[in-house]
Structure 1
Amino acid sequence: MARRVAVCVVGAGAAGLCAARQLAARPDVFTFRVYEQADGVGGTWVYTEDIGTDSDGLPVHSSMYENLRTNILQEIMGFPDFPFPEAEGTSYPKHDVVLKYLEDYAEHFDLKKHVSFRTVVKAVRPAGGPSSRTWAVTVYSGESRSEETQEFDAVLVCNGHYSTPFWPDVAGLESFEGAVLHSHDYRRPQDFAGQRVVLLGAAASGRDIALDLARHAREVLLCHRGAPLRSELPANVLQLSAISEATPTGFVLEDGSAVHADAIVFCTGYRYTFPFLSPQCGVFVRGRRVRPLYKHVVNIKMPSLGFIGIPFIVVPFPLFHCQVAFFLKSLMDPSILPSTEEMYEDERRDFQKRLDLGFPPRYAHKMAQLQWDYNDELADAAGIERLHSVFRELYEVNSYQMMNFLAEYKNKCYTETYKDKVNYS
C-alpha cells in the first residue's frame, strides 16, 4: 500500500472546511490536519463586536457587521453536496445563519476532530530548501503556549482575503477630526446616529453599509469613481465623486466640491496576505495579484502548495468545492498539470484576458461571468460533476436585482421557484 499524502490546511473557515470534507472522504489517500487560530469554525462568518485584536492578542479576523445579510441567494450559496435548508421569508440570510450552516456542515461530516483550534500557523517553508518535496509547518498553540514544527507533503492555504484592510492614501487624512475606520471595523449603524458619514467606495461593502447606515445617520455620502448606481437609493444617501483630500472638518472631492463630515468609513476592500509563507515558497503579492498561480490555485514553482478562495466576485462555496477537488486531484495525479512553462503561459493568458475585458491589473483574480467556464474547467480536470446550470441562472437573476433594486432585492425568496432544481436534502 502506497504511503498516504499528508496535507496541512491553514484555516477552518468555509474554504478550509471544504478542504477537510474532501480530504476526509479519501482516508485511503490522505492524512491531514487543519489549523485554526480561533476557537471554532466559520472564519470570517464568526461575528464579533471586537475590533483591533481578540482575546489572544491576534488581529480580529472577521469583517462581519451586526446587520449583515448575504448578497448571494442561499439557494446557490451552499456547497453542492450540502445545500442550505429551505429559506424562510428571504433568500438572503443574516451572517449567523451562514455560520450555523458551516457549523452544521462540520458536524455532518465530522470535521472538527481534524481541527486544531486556537492554533496559529507561524511559518510554512520547504523542509529541505527550494527543491524540497515536503513542507515544514510551524504552529503555535494557544492552549499549550508552545510551538511545534511538523512535516507535510502538501499545504492548502485557506486563510481568506477579507480580513486585512486596504487603505488608500488620502492627502491630509491625519488632519480630519472625525472618526476614521475601515469597513472591517464597522459594526452598528446606531454608532453614527444623526451624523453625516462619508463612505469611500461603492462596491459590495460600500453599497450594503450605505443602506445599513441610512436608517440612523443624518446623511450618507457614497463617494466613488464608478458610474452612478442605477438603483434608487434612500433619500439620505447621496452619490458623490471620489475623495481628493481631507480637511479638519470634511473632504474635498475630485470634482472640486467640499463636504462636511463627522466620520469616514473606508469601503476599499482587502489585501491578500500570507505572513506565514517564507520567501522560499516562491509566492508573492503585487498590486492585489498573487503569483505565480496556475488556475488561481496551484503554486507554479512548487505545485504541492495550493490556495483556495483567491478569486473574487464569485459564488464562493461552490467555487471552493471545485478548487479543492482540482488541487487534491493534482496531488493524486500530477499528470493533470501541464509543464511549468505551460502553466506560466496559462497564467499570462488568463491575466491578459482580464485586461482585454477592461479589468485594471489589480483585478487579476476577478471572476464575475468568467467563473462558470472556470468552475467547469476545474471540475472536468478533477473528474467531478460540473455545477448545475441553476447556479449560473440564479446568479444572473441575483446580479440584475442587485444592480436595479438595491434597497429591496434582499426581501425576495426564490426557494419555491427553484426548489425542483436545487437538490435540497
Structure 2
Amino acid sequence: MLQRVAVVGAGAAGLCAARHILSRPSSFAPPVVFELTGNIGGTWCYDEHVGTYDNGRPVHSSMYRDLRTNLPKEVMMFPDFPFEPELSSFLSHRAVLQYLHRYCQSYDIGPHIRFNTAVERVRVVMTTGEKPRWEVTSSDPSGGVQTETFDSVFVCSGHYSDPHIPDIPGIRSFKGKVLHSHSYRHAEPYAGQAVVVLGAKASGLDISMELARAGAQVTLSHALPRLTFPLPAGIQQASSVVAVEEDGGVRFQDGSVASADVLMFCTGYNFKYPFLDAAELGLVIQDQVVSPLYRFMMPPAFPSLFFIGICKIICPFPNFNCQVQFALAVLDGSVTLPPQAQMEEEVLRDLQEKVERGVKQHHLLKMDQDQWEYCEVLARSAGFPPLPPVVRSLYEEVWRQRQVHPENYRRLNYRLISSTRWELINGSADG
C-alpha cells in the first residue's frame, strides 16, 4: 500500500517535500499540498497588504519591497536545482519567487496543490496494533469542510507570520506609531522621522539601513555587544529599550531617554500551529521553541509528523532538502529510529547541553555552525548525498563580509567551480 502524505504549506519547504514525495512513486501516493493563499512561495510572496485580507485571514508574508537576500544564490539553492547563472549572487525576492515557480513546474507539483485551502485541524488517530494515522480537516473558500486520513503529515507552514512583540512596560503611553517588521513594506513613509528599531539581527540591520537611506533618523536598539562595523550616517546605536515613560519618551537600559515618532520591532516571530493539539502530541509549543523534536523534526511519540524548516540561522533550502529526504527515509523504513524513550532522552540531553553553554531559551532552535554536522548526520543516516563542502565555505565567507561591509557585501558576485571551491567573479564591497 502506498503511503499518503499531507503537506501543510506550498512555500519552499512544502514544495521541496512534494518534489521528493513525487520522486518515490513506488513508496508514496502523490501528496496533497494544502496552501492557505492563492499562490506558491510562502514568505517569498511580496504583498502590499498588511494586517488582514478581505476574507479576515491574516496576511502571511513578512516580505518587504526592496529586500535582497543576505545569502548568495550559490548557497541558497536546492543542491540539485541551481538558479539561472546570469543572475547576480544576491537576489530580489522576485527572483527567488520565480525560482520557486520554476522548481514547481519542473517537478510538476502544481496539480497536487489545493490553493485557498486552510488546514483547520490535524488529529492523530490510534488504531490497535497499527501505526498511528492522521486526520486532516481542511476548509475551502466556498465553506466546504472535509476530513481525510493520511499516513504522515509534513508541517511546512513556516515561522515568519506571527510577530513576536516583547512586553515593554508603559508602551501604551507611546505617542507615535508602533509596528513589527512583519508589517513593514518600504522606507519612504518614514522619511524625516525618528525611528527606534528594536533588534539588530538580519532584518533589524537591513531595515535600519533602508530607513537611513530614505532620510529617517534611526536609533538601533539591541542587547548585543556594540556593533563595530561601519553603519551609515543616520543610524546610532543604543542599549535595549526597557520602558516607555508617561510622556511617551523611550527609556533605554543605560538610563538615557529619547523621543521617537516610530517604534519598530524587529524581534522575530512566534511558532504558531493552531491546527495542532500540542498536548496530544507530547509537545510544548512556546513563542520561540517547539520541543521535544527528535532531529529538530518529529515528536518522539509520533514520528510520522514532521516539522520542516523549524531551525533558525541556517541555509534554508539546503536544510529543507536534507530534512525532507531524511523524513521520507524514516517513512519508507530505510532509517530505523531509536525507541521513543531514547529519542526523548537524546533531545533533552541536547537542549540541556545548550542551556549549560549559556544559550537562552528563545535561541534553542538556532543552529548557525551546528547546521553542517546536522545535515551531514541526516545524509549519512538516510543515504543521500551530503551538502558539498563549498556551501559551508562560501556561507562562512559571506558571513565574514557581512560583518565588515554590512551595506555593500551584496555587490559581490560568486561562482561555484567545484564541490569544494568557489571564486569571486566581480564586484567590490569597499566601493
Instruction: Pick the TM interval, shorter chain.
Output: over 0.9
- CA offsets per residue over residues 237-266 of structure 1, 9 Å max, x none? 011111111134430111010111010100
In 2, distance between residues paired with 1:353 and 1:276? Answer: 31
Correspondence 1:196-345 to 2 at 5 A = 196-247=194-245, 248-278=247-277, 279-286=279-286, 288-333=288-333, 336-345=336-345
Pairwise CA RMSD:
1.8
**Residue 414 of structure 1, CA deviation:** 0.9
Aligned residue in 2 for 1:361: 361
In 1, distance between residues paired with 2:298 and 2:215? Answer: 45
In 2, distance between residues paired with 1:229 and 1:309? Answer: 29
Structure 2 contact 8–154 (Cα < 8 Å) conserved: yes
1:107 maps to 2:105 = yes
Aligned residue in 2 for 1:63: 62
Structure 1 contact 354–363 (Cα < 8 Å) conserved: no
Aligned residue in 2 for 1:84: 83
Structure 2 contact 329–335 (Cα < 8 Å) conserved: no
In 1, distance between residues paired with 2:287 and 2:138? Answer: 28
In 2, distance between residues paired with 1:337 and 1:196? Answer: 54
Structure 1 contact 74–87 (Cα < 8 Å) conserved: no
- CA offsets per residue over residues 113-170 of structure 1, 9 Å max, x none? 111000000000013489861111000011x321100000111100001110001001
**TM-score, normalised via structure 2 length:** 0.94
In 2, distance between residues paired with 1:361 and 1:41? Answer: 32
Aligned residue in 2 for 1:396: 396
- 1:27 maps to which of 25, 28, 51: 25
In 1, distance between residues paired with 2:414 and 2:334? Answer: 41
**Residue 34 of structure 1, CA deviation:** 0.5
In 2, distance between residues paired with 1:91 and 1:97? Answer: 11
Structure 1 contact 192–213 (Cα < 8 Å) conserved: yes
**Residue 350 of structure 1, CA deviation:** 1.9
Q: 1:210 to 1:129 in 2, by over 3 A?
A: farther
Structure 1 contact 326–378 (Cα < 8 Å) conserved: yes
**Residue 357 of structure 1, CA deviation:** 3.7
Of all paired residues, the percent bearing the same amino acid is 43
Structure 2 contact 16–320 (Cα < 8 Å) conserved: yes
Structure 1 contact 126–132 (Cα < 8 Å) conserved: no
**Residue 298 of structure 1, CA deviation:** 1.4
**TM-score, normalised via structure 1 length:** 0.95
Correspondence 1:101-180 to 2 at 5 A = 101-128=99-126, 133-142=132-141, 144-180=142-178
SS at match of 1:365: coil
The residue type equivalent to 1:140 in the other structure is S
- Larger mean CA deviation between 34-43 and 336-345 belongs to 336-345
Aligned residue in 2 for 1:9: 7
**Residue 284 of structure 1, CA deviation:** 2.4
The residue type equivalent to 2:102 in the other structure is D
In 2, distance between residues paired with 1:107 and 1:195? Answer: 45
**Residue 423 of structure 1, CA deviation:** 11
**Residue 217 of structure 1, CA deviation:** 3.3
Aligned residue in 2 for 1:385: 385
In 2, distance between residues paired with 1:129 and 1:329? Answer: 23
Aligned residue in 2 for 1:188: 186
**Residue 356 of structure 1, CA deviation:** 4.1
- CA offsets per residue over residues 331-378 of structure 1, 9 Å max, x none? 111752111121112112221332344321221111000000000001
The residue type equivalent to 1:135 in the other structure is W
Aligned residue in 2 for 1:409: 409
The residue type equivalent to 1:243 in the other structure is V
- CA offsets per residue over residues 206-225 of structure 1, 9 Å max, x none? 01101111111331000011
Structure 2 contact 239–254 (Cα < 8 Å) conserved: yes
The residue type equivalent to 1:406 in the other structure is P
SS at match of 1:187: coil
In 1, distance between residues paired with 2:352 and 2:215? Answer: 43
In 2, distance between residues paired with 1:369 and 1:253? Answer: 32
In 2, distance between residues paired with 1:176 and 1:338? Answer: 53
Structure 1 contact 124–137 (Cα < 8 Å) conserved: yes
Structure 2 contact 271–287 (Cα < 8 Å) conserved: no
In 1, distance between residues paired with 2:131 and 2:53? Answer: 36
In 1, distance between residues paired with 2:73 and 2:334? Answer: 35
SS at match of 2:371: helix
In 1, distance between residues paired with 2:334 and 2:284? Answer: 23
In 1, distance between residues paired with 2:281 and 2:184? Answer: 34
SS at match of 2:146: strand
In 2, distance between residues paired with 1:286 and 1:146? Answer: 31
- What 5-or-longer segments of structure 1 have no aligned partner? none
